[in-house]
Amino acid sequence: MSCTKSRDGHAPILTGDDQTPIGLLALRSTIGGVLMGLANLVPGISGGTMLLAAGIYPRFISAIGQVTTLRFTRQASVVLVCVAAAAAVVVVTLAGPVKDLIIHHRWIMYSLFIGLTLGGVPVIWRLIDHRTTGVWIGTLAGFVGMALLSFMQSGGGGSVDNSGFGFMLLAGAAGASAMILPGVSGGYLLLAIGVYVPILAGIDSLKEAIKSGNTDLLISILVSLILPVGLGVILGVLLVSNLLKWLLEHQSRLTLGVLLGLLLGAVIGLYPFVAGVRPQVNDTLKGQKIVLPQTNGKQKLIYQGTGDSVEPGDYPVEAFVPRKLQVGGALALILAGFAVTMAVDLIGRHKPTDVSDAT
């Protein structure tokens, strides 16, 4: 695998071609796809870090570059198909359980996410060969940007409608572009902008619609969620990921500094001691008024504009005072999450990334 210096004097992260035997390449790609699927479901774990752990990261990025320049080699096709298929199966299968855990055990999951997120910091730090002024400027910019995003999301409460086609398309693009970078979690970005739980819920509902044969619900989910998010993912992979690839090769220190700042700022939006609060009648949520229909059955809040039920995943969150046991549990989960990400990274350091090692 060839390696040349970037314009800022740092050896680029993404280089080389792949001559690994197809069978071994398919196996590693499938394992990497499974790990990436799990990473996309858990905010804080980087899909790129998981691909590093499987020893497939440089090949995956190289395959994206080949396909986007219409060079459909056998190796590139195997890598992309195996990674994408394995990741999709994992996401579709586990979206429902992960969503329920976040809704009903939020402080536990958020504490784990904090540890997983902080575990990505050493990954990025190790990639920075010299801590120049550009690195620190990038780190500050990334930190401030992510902190502002977290405050805007928390301050917006439930009044912002983040379910529109355009918003979901941008969310898909942001999540896809982030998930391939080592140490950066695409799932966290979706969580920070308020679409993580809705996307998981939509995927889970899609499975139920297919099982029950509910065509109307199936079409509704496909049009409102799967289509915009899917298009966003494609745009993110084809456009944004190539831009970031170029930046990592030509302005690596500044770019890695920004990524480091994003990771550090991400923790602000993961304060664990918050819980969903059931909205009241006449409150505004997702840009719609909440009403209570006049029925003799169970009283269930609905959106006045659409008539859809207000689900627990839609509830606005409020901070609460934790008990001592919760504080201790949160600290233990943070340490556990940090250890998991560090263990994955440690495994990835010993995986072959050179052609000579891979074969």
Res. 324: pLDDT tops 90:
yes
Res 320: pLDDT: 92
Res. 357: pLDDT tops 60:
no
Residue 56's pLDDT band (cuts 50, 70, 90): confident
Res 273: pLDDT: 93
Res. 333: pLDDT tops 90:
yes
Provide the percentage of residues in the chain whose pLDDT is more than 90: 9
Res 22: pLDDT: 81
User: Which letter, b or e, does each residue of 91-103 get, where b requires 16 or more Cβ atoms within 10 Å of its Cβ?
Assistant: beebbbebbbebb
Higher-confidence residue: 62 or 143?
Answer: 143
Note whether 90 and 47 are within 8 A (CB).
no
**First-to-final CA distance of the chain:** 12
Res. 223: pLDDT tops 90:
no
Which tokens hold the place of 205?
A: 């509902």
Highest mean pLDDT among 19-23, 30-34, 156-160, 289-293: 30-34
Residue 270's pLDDT band (cuts 50, 70, 90): confident
Give me the residue label for tokens 């910019």.
141
Res. 350: pLDDT tops 60:
no
Note whether 258 and 102 are within 8 A (CB).
no
Higher-confidence residue: 297 or 184?
Answer: 184
* Segment 249-274 mean pLDDT: 83
Res. 108: pLDDT tops 80:
yes
Res. 298: pLDDT tops 80:
no
Give me the residue label for tokens 């090692």.
357
Query: Which range has the worst mean pLDDT, 139-148, 212-221, 253-262, 303-312?
Result: 303-312
Residue 17's Cβ-side half-sphere holds a number of Cα atoms within 13 Å equal to 6
Query: Which range has the worst mean pLDDT, 71-80, 106-115, 236-245?
Result: 236-245
Q: State the chain's mean pLDDT as an integer.
A: 77
Highest mean pLDDT among 2-16, 139-153, 244-258, 313-327: 313-327
Highest mean pLDDT among 86-90, 206-210, 225-229: 86-90
Query: Which range has the worst mean pLDDT, 154-158, 196-200, 249-253?
Result: 154-158
State how far Cα 340 lies from the chain centre. Answer: 17
Which tokens hold the place of 200?
A: 């998981």
Residue 2's pLDDT band (cuts 50, 70, 90): very low
Res 152: pLDDT: 63
Question: What is the full DSSP assignment across 55-109?
Answer: T-HHHHHHHHHHHHTT---HHHHHHHHHHHHHHHHHHHHHHHHHHHHHHHSHHHH
Highest mean pLDDT among 149-153, 177-181, 331-335: 331-335
Instruction: Give the span between the Cα atoms of 18 and 186, in whole angstroms.
Output: 26
Res 351: pLDDT: 47
Helix (H) or strand (E) holding 346: helix 324-349
Res 153: pLDDT: 58
- Residues, the chain, total? 359
Segments making up each domain of the chain, as ranges: 22-271+320-358
Provide the percentage of residues in the chain whose pLDDT is more than 70: 78
* Segment 1-16 mean pLDDT: 48
Res. 285: pLDDT tops 50:
yes
Which tokens hold the place of 345?
A: 């990274």
Instruction: Give the span between the Cα atoms of 352 and 283, in whole angstroms.
Output: 55
